[in-house]
Structure formats: C-alpha cells, structure tokens
C-alpha cells in the first residue's frame, strides 16, 4: 500500500471549500402532493418536434479550432406578433459573418409566421429580417408607437434596428436611428427610463473583443484549446439610447451615468425595485459584480448593486451572471430579482427588503442546492399552471465544451431544463415530474415565453447553441381558469412596460408588473396571463399605467379563459 | 511500500560502492578546507565529510560555499540515517536562504522522506494500532477512495472509541464524498456531535456544525456553534466570519459588526470578510465605514480572478 505524504495544512485549509460541496446533498426530495395529483399523461410540458411545427431552422455556432468566445454564447429567440393577427410568431437569431467567421453558405436569422394550427412558416426573406452578422439576441418593442412591434437584433460587430412597416415587412433603420452599438452586444431591453411615454433602449455590452484580441486559452492536463474565461478580457460599458420620438435616438450612456460603469453584461431586466414609478435596471455581469442601476430621475442612474446585496455572492465574490428576471414572487408589492450563474456558484433569488436592499433566498427555497452545479442562461418567472403564483423555468448548459473533462463529469456540458413550482408558500423542483423533456440535456441559451396556440397555457421557446430550437407546449395551464390581457399605452409607453396589474378572484388577490426584458438574449409574448386556479371568475382587475400617465383603471364584469385588450384611457376592455 | 526517493541522493550509491576504499581525510588548511570537504561529500565520502560540513555551514563566510555545504550536509546526513543532523542542516539553510529554490526543494523532499520513514515505522511496529488505521484512512481519503477510507476510520474507531479527531474526520469524509446519500448531512452532524463529546475543545467540529446549521437556515444554532468555535480558537478567522454571516442572515446587523471586525483583523486578505463587514456597517446605517470596507473589497476583487474552472491563457511550456 502506498502511504502518501501527509499534509495537515492542506487538510485544514479547505474547511470552507469542502463544505461547499455538501450543498447539493439534500437536493433529492419527495414528490410534492400537488405533483402526484397531476395526470400521468399528458405531462405538464411536452416537446413539439420540428416535424410537427415546421421549424427546421438551425442555429450554427460556427465552432472553430481557435475557440472564439462568441461561438459558445448565442443565441436568443423571441415571441412576437409581427403582423398583429393575434397569434404569436417567432424570431430566432443565428451566427453569421464577422471578422473570425465566414460561413458558407451565409447564415441568417429566421422569422416564423404562426399558421394558427400549430405549424409555422418561414417568412424571413419576405420580411427582410435575416440580418447576417454574428447574431446574439433580440429585443422587441414598439418604439415608434404605430402598434406594430419592431425588432432590435444584437450582434457581435454592430446591432440592427428593424422597423416594422406594418405590411409584413421590415426596414433596417439602424443608421438613421443611431443605435448600432458597435462592439459585442448581448441582451437588450426596451423601456421608458425618463417617463416621456416613448420606449428607450438599453443594450448590454460584453467584453472588449475582436479576432485580434481573442486569447489563446488551454485547459486540462493535456492543455486542450478551450473557450477563455471572460475575466481575461477587458470589461466594457453598456449603452443607453434615448428615444427622440422622430425615429432617432440619442446616446445618453455617459450623461445617464450608465457609461461610467465597466461590466461584462449578459442579461438585463427593466423593473421598479423601489416603487418610485421610475424603471430601474438589473444587469447580470460575468466574472465581475452585477449592476443595479437605480433610476433617480432627471435622466440619471445610480449604481447600487453592492450596497443592495445583489452584486456579489454572500462571500463577496463576483460570479458569472448570465440570465436574469424580476417579479414580485412573494406578493408583498415589491419587485424581487433572480440571476443565474455558472456551475459551483448557485443561482440567486433576491428578495426585496423594501429599502433598496435584497436578501438571497436561494438556499432557503432549495433553488440554491438544485442549481449548484448548473450554468443558467434563459429563465423566466411565469405562472405555467395558472394557479395564481409565479413559477420559474430555467434553461441551462455549460459554456465550456471541455468542462466534463475538467470537472471529471461532475458538471455536464449539456444540462437539463429546470422547473420550479411556486405554491405561494414554498418552491418545489418539479422538473422530474414535468415531462420527459426535463431529463434531456441541452446547450440551451435563449428562453422566451409565449402562448403560441392561444389556449391560455403559456408555452416556451428554447434556443440551443449549435442546434435546432424547440418548443415546450404547456398542457397544464388550461386546466385552470385564466384571463389574458394585452395592454396598450397611449400617454404611457405603447408596450405599457412598468404597468402594474392587480386582480382579485374570490380569495385570490395577486399583483403583477410588466417588466421589460428578462431572460437571456430573448423576448417574450407581451400579453400577461392572469391565472385564477379553479375559481370561476375574476371579481375585478386594476391597471396602474406607468408614468407619465399614472392613471389607474379598474375593470369588473371580466370574462375568463380568453384574451382581452385594454387600451389606456378607454375605460373598457375589448 | 514506497521506496526512498533515491534520485535525491545520487551519490549515496557511489558512497556505498566506494565504502571499501580509503578516503582522504579533510584538509585542515582553512583556505582549501571547505572546497575539499564539499568535493569529498559530492564524491560520495559522506561519513568523512559530514563533521566538517557542519562547521562550514555554521561558520563559512563565503555564502556559496556555505549553501553548498548545507545542501550536501542534508543529503549526506539522510543517506547515513542521521536524521537529526539532516534537520539541523535544513534549519540553517532555511534561516540563511529562505527563498532559495534548491533549499526549498530539498526541504520538501527531506520532510517527505522523513514522513515516509515514520509511516513505515508505524506500519512495522504497531500495524494494528488505531493510529495506523487512521493513517491508512487518511491515505485513502487523499486518493479519493472514500469507501476504503471510511472503513479504515471505522476500524480505528473500533480500536479506540475515545480517540480524539476520528469522528471529526469521519464527518468530514461523509461531506466530501461525491454522490452522497440523502441523509448525509444528518449522518455527518452526528459525527461532529460525537467528536465534541470526546473533545469539547474541537473548534473545527463546532465550526462545521455552524456551517451545517447555516445551510439549514437555522441561524440561532449557527450563531451558537460559530460563537463556540471562535471562543475555542481565537485565531480562527473563518469562525468569526461565519458568525458574522449568520448574524447578517438573521438580520442582526449591529451584532454582526464585532465578529466581522475580528475576522478582518485575522484575515485581512480575505475579500469575503471585508464584504460582510461592509454589509453589516451599511445595514446598520454606518455609511462611511461601509463605503470604506466596500472600497477595500472592490479593490481586492478587481485584483482577484473569479472562481472559475482551471483554465489559463497560454499553456505552460512543454517540458519535453
């Protein structure tokens, strides 16, 4: 027997490190009572195959021997109703030509029209939204108030603004609008930061990167070439563009204060963390502190992430923030935050303390243990079973294709989706009970929610790095009652970003804010679906429109199990 | 059993081969004595050279000769089995040349060799003792052979149920194993509690119980365990940090400040200590002190790369 040389110091020095390994130990748990009561078939979620949907488009990462970092980070996806026919269409982002990649034949993004029968038709060419650069993400918003959603496509290189012409076609207006945001753009969000009733644009910028600056990284015992860890690259400031209302934008990054902060931004959500009626920004940064830009009015933002407790881990370490979201998950009237990180960092659920500080509840909710070895990208709070409580769906996958060798298979390169059910009192990981799709591993990146078949059960679109995207059809949401609403701002911004909807159905009272963005590189169905469980009707619904309106409108005699539209100031729904 | 690292002592074989030959005694001329003694040692005549090497190492003014004599002294003494002499040479070398790579390298291998010899002796003289079992268990543990390590610890415990440290190690082993059973935390907790019955002064066991309570969100229990750990070992920076973190988590911000101040004093290079102290100040309304600590933390984290997989820019030079 070989007796190794003992090293008592080494035994002692990792007291903390070895404790970190136990966090996942208690992850295995019993199946909750509500989940046992679910019908065995169909499962809550079911994969819709390309052969059924007609979505044959595929993401091509452009993977090379040189391992250029953008290859592993894309791409995003979106639900949008580009032709205003009341049915959600899809937009999918692809890689493309850039200084380190010349695809043959050329690659393009895809716009799929919803045929209203569960199938989709590729209308990219007619619509003129193929892009062609090295795409990353997409943000959808009606920036010009013509009631047709416009597209902002982020790219490595320079981004594109496609104005919706209202006739099924789009026009590239990037140059006139002045929103090219050169560099490596990732997620973007439309929101009205100065409450002038027009949608402004925030664009996340990742690191200072181009082919010449790409670093040569190697890992493992045999020093294989791999994707570099982002801390090797210089951080950059993100962009904020003010909408001038005439089709042009002004770069206010510096004057707003946002340009003073160098980060490595992947995800952004516009939310109101302090209920002051001004939309704030939570930005997930990779390997550096996250940002929480508190909107102080007069066009100025204050970065308060560290003081707020959302910049670092509890141990004070910067993590690899990627996807994120915001919602009032505990229904105390204050917006909470969520951010997904890389393996061994856990994801964070930040509960709002009502004083611009947050406490991480990841461990208390079990989300920490379940995500300890995961790497999270797209994610969204939504009420998938329409019981009135916001649940959480996460798309995962490690960015490093050597990770299984490096971590001795403890961490996977492809990882399964995660679904957490919120009972209103506790979170339960229900992934294993939610369908066979939850046991399949993916290199998932983008995640968008949307009801593609208008049954009130919110479905999910997942984009996969270097593979075909897929749908999750929601089979459970329609088993409860619901009301779907489209909000149209008039004095407030057209998409009603920042609106708060409160509703009561019997003993159930709930409140939702319409946030801007969330997830990773992706955008969502703009409609809000309000679940009421088995209760037969909604008693009332109140909309507090965002500033500069601030109007509060209350509605009764509401239908259920259908979609309605509420236009600001009309005092009625249709 | 591992052989002695012979590559360290290439001249020992030569010494053995030459043992029947007459060797010249070291010269007494001070100008030439030191080089000749060193030459003698380096040609394998350790027994003759060793007494003079000791003098050269202690008294020689020429730093290079002093260093060479010390290095040769260690090698010769180890080869001759004169371990006390070897340690004396090493002490002198480490005092005089504390950062010399040759000195550090030789120190590592000498201590390693001594540890190997001691373990061999333990295996020869008391193979069934609980100490031998414990050593075997530690060996398995360091090789990642968790089950064998656990069996050896249990055998050690059977030999001496009251031996201090065994329950602590078993508890730690349980928590370190990959793919543990669902009740592993409870099993480990029982081991640490058993350790404290045998050795109530084990600060490490109190600390781990504090961490387990913290992960269960049982803040009161976490505070109790961390407090006891920090009292048992007033130099245990992590215990003070754990106490501060638990107090912050239970929203007792002013109470968290003193232990975190101690943690910062004990571990000034630990960014987590500064971050938590800053948080405690900030949430106690002590903005100026908070800003100062946040600034220190920010500086430290900007220097320190994030905790990410072992991947480096550019590979190390190929040794071949």
Give the CATH number for residue B266: 1.25.40.10
B183 and B230 assigned to the same domain: no
B41 against A1, higher pLDDT: B41
Residues of A in contact with B119 (CB under 8 A): 3, 6
Size of interface A-B (CB pairs under 8 A): 147
- B1 vs A1: CB contact, 8 Å cut-off? yes
Whether the Cβ atoms of residue A207 and residue A198 lie closer than 8 Å to each other: no
Show residues of chain A in contact with B217, CB under 8 Å: 363-364
Q: Which residues of A touch B312 (CB under 8 A)?
A: 217-219
Count of CB atoms within 10 A of residue B283's CB?
20
Chain B interface mutation, best of A5, A305, A406, highest count of B Cβ atoms under 10 Å:
A5
Residue B12: how many other CB atoms lie within 10 Å:
18
Give a yes or no: residue B115 inside a domain.
no
Q: Which two structure tokens, joined as six digits, stand for A343?
A: 């393996």
Q: In the beta sheet, which residues pair with residue A517?
A: A269
Q: Distance, in angstroms, between A300 CA and closest chain B CA?
A: 21
Strands A183-191 and A170-172: unpaired
- Residue of B127, B222, B296, B309 to mutate, interface with A, max A Cβ within 10 Å: B309
B305: pLDDT confidence band, cut at 50, 70 and 90?
low
Residue of A nearest to B295 (CA): A306
Indicate yes or no: CB of A344 within 8 angstroms of CB of B115.
Answer: no
Is the domain of B212 the same as that of B312?
Answer: yes
All residues of chain A having their beta carbon less than 8 Å from the beta carbon of residue B136 are 1, 3
Q: Are residues B187 and B225 in the same domain?
A: no
Give residue B3's pLDDT: 31
Secondary structure letter of residue A411 according to DSSP: S
Same domain, B184 and B260: no
The nearest alpha carbon in chain B to A23 belongs to B215
CB contact under 8 A, B120 and A3: yes
Does residue B318 lie in a domain region? Answer: yes
Characterise A128 by phi-psi region: left (phi > 0), alpha (psi -120 to 50), beta (else). left
For residue B169, give both structure tokens: 């190690």
Q: What is the signed CA dihedral for A383, A385, A388, A391, rounded to 10 degrees? A: -40
Decide if A521 contacts A93 (C-beta within 8 A).
yes
The string of pLDDT tens digits covering residues A408-427 is 667 889 999 999 999 999 99
CB contact under 8 A, A364 and B217: yes
In a shared domain, residues B183 and B218:
no
CA distance B289 to B66: 52
State the angle between helix axes of B63-79 and B30-42 in degrees (0 to 180), rounded to the nearest 10.
40
Judge if B46 and B81 occupy the same domain.
yes
Residues A426, A38: Cα–Cα separation, whole Å: 18
- Give the whole-angstrom CA distance, residue A446 versus residue B171: 42
**More confident call, B40 vs A543:** A543
Q: Domain check: are B206 and B317 in the same one?
A: yes
B33 located within any domain: no
Mutate to test the interface with B, among A6, A69, A351 (most CBs of B within 10 A): A6
Nearest residue on chain A to B279, alpha-carbon basis: A307
pLDDT at B4 over 50: no
Whether B122 is in a domain gets the answer no
Q: Transcribe chain B into DSSP letters.
A: -PPP-GGG-HHHHHHHHTTTS--PPPP--HHHHHHHHHHHHHTT-HHHHHHHHHHHHHH---HHHHHHHHHHHHHHHHHTT-HHHHHHHHHHHHHH-TT-HHHHHHHHHHHHHHHHHHHHHHHHH-TTSHHHHHHHHHHHHHTT-HHHHHHHHHHHHHH-TT-TTHHHHHHHHHHHSSS--TTHHHHHHHHHHHHHHH-TT-HHHHHHHHHHHHHTT-HHHHHHHHHHHHHH-TT-HHHHHHHHHHHHHTT-HHHHHHHHHHHHHH-TT-HHHHHHHHHHHHHTT-HHHHHHHHHHHHHHHHHSPPS--SEEESPPPP--
Which residues from B are below 8 Å from A359, CB to CB? 249
Q: Do A22 and B115 touch (CB under 8 A)?
A: no
The rounded distance, in Å, linking the Cα atoms of A543 and A563 is 16
pLDDT, position B12: 32
d(CA B236, CA B268): 13
The pLDDT assigned to A517 comes to 97
pLDDT tens digits, B99-113: 999 999 999 999 999
Task: With respect to residue B164, please indicate whether it lies within any of the assigned structural domains.
Answer: yes
- Tens-place pLDDT, residues A439-461: 999 999 999 999 999 999 999 99
Contact call for residues A498 and A504 (beta carbons, < 8 A): no
| pLDDT tens digits for range B260-293 | 999 999 999 999 999 999 999 999 999 999 999 9
Last residue in a domain, options B200, B221, B251: B200
* Whether residues B196 and B206 fall in one domain: no
The mean predicted confidence, pLDDT, of chain B is: 84
Measure the CA–CA gap between B119 and A220, rounded to whole angstroms. 33
So what's the pLDDT on residue A13? Answer: 34
A478 phi and psi, to 5 degrees?
A: -75, -5
Whether residues B144 and B242 share a domain: the answer is no
Pair B188, B228 in one domain:
no
More confident residue, B44 or A357: A357
Could you tell me how many helices (H) and strands (E) chain A has, helices first?
Answer: 11, 40
Contacts of B2 in chain A (CB under 8 A): 2-3
pLDDT for residue B29:
60
Residues of A in contact with B268 (CB under 8 A): none
User: What does residue A531 show for φ and ψ, rounded to 5 degrees?
Assistant: -85, 145
Judge: B176–A18 Cβ closer than 8 Å, yes or no.
Answer: yes
Q: Check CB contact under 8 Å for A15 and B112.
A: no
Cis peptide bond N-terminal to A501, omega within 30 = no
pLDDT digits (tens, 9 = 90+) for B243-256: 999 999 999 999 99
CA gap A79, A526 in Å, rounded: 8
Q: What pLDDT sits at residue B276?
A: 97
Residue among B176, B273, B314 minimizing CB distance to A21: B176
pTM of the model: 0.83
Domain boundary among B200, B234, B252: B200
Q: Which long-range contacts (CB under 8 A, 24 or more apart) does B120-124 make?
A: B120/A3, B120/B1, B123/A3, B123/B1
Contact criterion met (CB < 8 Å) for A316 and B272? yes
The answer to whether residues A458 and A529 touch, using CB atoms and an 8 Å cutoff, is yes
Tell if the CB–CB gap between A309 and B279 is shorter than 8 Å: yes
Residues B55 and B82 in one domain: yes
Residue among A22, A214, A349 with most chain B CBs within 10 A, to mutate: A22
Give a yes or no: residue B269 inside a domain.
yes
Smallest CA–CA separation between B68 and chain A, in Å? 27
Tell me the chain B residues in contact with residue A228 when contact means C-beta distances shorter than 8 Å: 311, 313
Q: Which residues contact A59 (CB under 8 A, 6 or more apart)?
A: A74, A75, A92, A93, A94, A95, A463, A464, A465, A466, A467, A468, A469
At a CB cut-off of 8 Å and minimum separation 6, what does A488 contact? A147, A494, A496, A565, A566, A567, A568
Q: Which residues in B lie closer than 8 A to residue A316 (C-beta atoms)? A: 271-276, 297, 301
Say if B283 falls within a structural domain: yes
Last residue of a domain, one of B174, B200, B226: B200
- Across residues B112-134, what is the average pLDDT? 88
Maximum mean pLDDT: which of A261-265, B46-50, B126-130:
A261-265
Q: Looking at per-residue confidence, does B121 or A90 come out higher? A: A90
pLDDT of residue A404: 83
Asked if residue B149 belongs to a domain, the reply is: yes
Q: Which residues of chain A have pLDDT under 50?
A: 1-41
Q: Indicate the Cα dihedral angle A106, A110, A113, A119, nearest 10°.
A: 90
State both tokens at A381: 């709070």
Q: A551, A491 in Cβ contact below 8 A?
A: yes
- What's the distance, Cα to Cα, between the start and end of chain A in Å? 81
Q: Do B208 and A345 touch (CB under 8 A)?
A: no
Coil/strand/helix, residue A49: coil
- Give residue B127's pLDDT: 86
pLDDT for B5 equals: 32
Question: Mean pLDDT over residues B125-150, rounded?
Answer: 85
Measured over the CA atoms of residue A221, residue A226, residue A229 and residue A234, the dihedral's sign is positive
- What is the tally of structural domains in chain B? 3
First vs last C-alpha separation in chain B: 30
Which range of residues forms the domain containing residue B298? 202-320
The answer to whether the beta carbons of residues A259 and A181 sit under 8 Å apart is no
Same domain, B214 and B313: yes
Distance CA B21, CA A511 (A): 97
Structure tokens of B306?
């994030």
Quick: pLDDT tens for B13-29.
Answer: 333 333 333 344 445 56
């Amino acid at each position: 027997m070989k007796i190794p040389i003992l090293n008592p110091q080494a035994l002692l020095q990792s007291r903390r490190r070895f404790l970190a390994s136990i966090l996942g130990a208690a992850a295995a748990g019993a199946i909750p009572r509500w989940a046992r009561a679910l019908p065995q078939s169909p499962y809550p979620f079911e994969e819709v195959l390309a052969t059924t949907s007609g979505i044959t488009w595929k993401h091509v990462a452009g993977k090379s021997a040189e391992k250029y970092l953008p290859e592993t980070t894309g791409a995003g996806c979106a639900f949008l109703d580009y032709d205003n026919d009341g049915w959600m269409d899809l937009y999918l982002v692809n890689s493309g030509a850039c200084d380190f990649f010349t695809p043959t034949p050329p690659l393009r993004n895809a716009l799929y029209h919803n045929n209203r029968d569960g199938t989709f038709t590729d209308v990219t060419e007619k619509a003129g939204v193929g892009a062609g650069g090295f795409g990353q993400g997409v943000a959808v918003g009606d920036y010009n108030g013509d009631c047709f959603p416009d597209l902002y496509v982020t790219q490595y290189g320079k981004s594109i603004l496609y104005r919706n012409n209202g006739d099924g076609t789009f026009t590239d207006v990037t140059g006139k609008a002045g929103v090219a945001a050169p560099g490596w753009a990732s997620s973007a969000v439309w929101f009205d930061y100065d409450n002038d009733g027009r949608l402004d644009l925030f664009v996340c910028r990742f690191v200072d990167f181009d082919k010449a600056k790409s670093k040569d990284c190697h890992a493992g015992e045999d020093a294989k070439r791999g994707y570099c860890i982002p801390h090797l690259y210089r951080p950059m400031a993100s962009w904020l563009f003010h909408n001038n209302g005439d089709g042009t934008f002004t770069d206010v990054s510096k004057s707003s204060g946002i340009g003073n902060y160098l980060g490595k931004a992947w995800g952004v959500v516009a939310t109101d963390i302090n209920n002051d009626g001004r939309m704030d920004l939570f930005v997930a940064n990779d390997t550096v502190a996250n940002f929480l830009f508190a909107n102080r009015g007069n066009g100025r933002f204050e970065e308060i992430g560290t003081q707020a407790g959302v910049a670092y881990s509890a141990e004070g370490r910067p993590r690899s923030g990627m996807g994120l979201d915001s919602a009032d998950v505990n229904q105390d009237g204050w917006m909470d935050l969520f951010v997904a990180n890389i393996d061994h960092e856990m994801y964070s659920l930040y509960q709002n303390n009502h004083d611009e500080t947050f406490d991480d509840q990841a461990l208390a909710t079990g989300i920490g243990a379940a995500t300890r070895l995961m790497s999270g990208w797209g994610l969204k709070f939504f009420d998938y079973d329409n019981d009135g409580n916001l649940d959480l769906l996460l798309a995962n996958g490690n960015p490093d294709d050597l990770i299984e060798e490096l971590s001795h298979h403890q961490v996977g390169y492809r990882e399964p989706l995660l679904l957490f059910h919120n009972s209103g009192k506790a979170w339960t990981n229900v992934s294993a009970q939610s369908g066979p799709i939850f046991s399949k591993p993916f290199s998932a990146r983008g995640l968008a929610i949307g009801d593609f078949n208008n049954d009130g059960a919110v479905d999910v679109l997942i984009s996969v790095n270097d593979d075909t995207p897929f749908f999750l059809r929601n089979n459970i949401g329609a088993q409860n009652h619901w009301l779907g609403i489209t909000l149209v701002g008039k004095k407030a911004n057209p998409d009603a970003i920042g609106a708060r909807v409160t509703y009561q159905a019997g003993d159930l009272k709930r409140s939702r804010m319409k946030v801007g963005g969330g997830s990773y590189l992706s955008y969502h169905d703009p409609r809000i679906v309000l679940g009421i469980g088995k209760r037969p009707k909604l008693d009332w619904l109140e909309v507090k429109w965002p500033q500069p309106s601030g109007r509060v409108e209350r509605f009764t005699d509401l239908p259920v199990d259908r979609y309605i539209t509420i236009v600001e100031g009309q005092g009625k729904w249709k | 059993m591992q052989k002695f690292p012979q590559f360290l002592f290439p001249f020992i074989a030569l010494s053995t081969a030459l043992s029947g030959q007459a060797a010249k005694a070291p010269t007494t001329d001070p100008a030439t004595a030191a080089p000749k003694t060193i030459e003698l040692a380096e040609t394998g005549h350790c027994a003759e050279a060793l007494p003079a090497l000791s003098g050269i190492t202690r008294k020689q003014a020429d730093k290079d000769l002093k260093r060479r004599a010390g290095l040769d002294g260690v090698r010769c003494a180890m080869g001759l089995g004169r371990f006390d002499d070897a340690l004396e040479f090493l002490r002198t070398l480490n005092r005089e040349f504390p950062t010399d790579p040759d000195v550090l390298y030789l120190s590592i291998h000498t201590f390693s060799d001594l540890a190997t010899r001691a373990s061999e002796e333990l295996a020869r003289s008391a193979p069934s003792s609980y100490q031998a079992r414990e050593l075997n268990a530690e060996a398995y543990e360091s090789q990642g052979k968790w089950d064998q390590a656990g069996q050896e610890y249990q055998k050690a415990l059977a030999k001496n149920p009251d031996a201090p440290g065994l329950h602590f190690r078993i508890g730690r082993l349980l928590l370190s194993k990959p793919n543990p059973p669902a009740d592993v935390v409870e099993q480990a907790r029982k081991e640490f509690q058993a350790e404290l019955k045998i050795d109530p002064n084990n600060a490490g066991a109190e600390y781990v119980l504090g961490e387990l309570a913290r992960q269960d969100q049982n803040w009161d229990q976490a505070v109790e365990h961390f407090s006891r750990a920090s009292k048992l070992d007033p130099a245990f920076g992590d215990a003070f940090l754990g106490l501060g973190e638990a107090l912050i988590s239970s929203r007792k911000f002013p109470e968290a400040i003193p232990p975190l101040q101690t943690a910062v004093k004990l571990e000034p290079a630990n960014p987590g200590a500064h971050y938590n102290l800053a948080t405690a100040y900030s949430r106690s309304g002590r903005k100026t002190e908070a800003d100062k600590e946040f600034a220190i933390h920010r500086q430290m984290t900007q220097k320190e790369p994030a905790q990410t997989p072992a991947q480096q820019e550019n590979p190390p030079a190929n040794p071949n």
